[in-house]
Amino acid sequence: MSDEGGICPNCGLPIDLCVCETIAQEEARITVTVERRKWGRLTTVVEGFDKTIDLGDLATKLKGKLACGGAAKHGHVELQGDHRGTITAVLAKLGFPEEMVQVDWSFTGRKRR
């Protein structure tokens, strides 16, 4: 987006015609959802990371920055508590652009409707 008028290094098309960025965004979509677990504990689930990402390492960094417990599990990261308000900025610092991150705000932590 920044170098308008250029040629895409990926597909060789003018940036105007190139859809690589759109495709990449659709593929690389990190979703953040909150679930209620045992004993009413809220857990933030972050998923959609590329398979090349070291989730154990990422979980450690997220836990440190958010000062919470958590773990990497089967292709996603779980963090104790509701971190939807801060996780986008934290992920951005770790190299995941905000536009890649989709936060699901539908869960309010209240009783089911």
| Minimum gap (Å) between residue 102 Cβ and Zn ion | 23
- Judged by beta carbon, residue 22 or residue 106, the one nearer Zn ion is 22
- Judged by beta carbon, residue 15 or residue 53, the one nearer Zn ion is 15
Interacting residue ranges for Zn ion, rule: CB under 5 A: 8, 10-11, 18, 20
Percentages (nearest 5) of helix, strand, coil residues in the chain: 30, 25, 45
In this structure, what token pair is assigned to residue 44? Answer: 């933030």
| Minimum gap (Å) between residue 99 Cβ and Zn ion | 17
Which amino acid appears at position 20 of this protein? C
Provide CB contacts within 8 A for 8, sequence distance 6+. Answer: 14, 15, 18, 20
| Minimum gap (Å) between residue 100 Cβ and Zn ion | 17
- Judged by beta carbon, residue 6 or residue 69, the one nearer Zn ion is 6
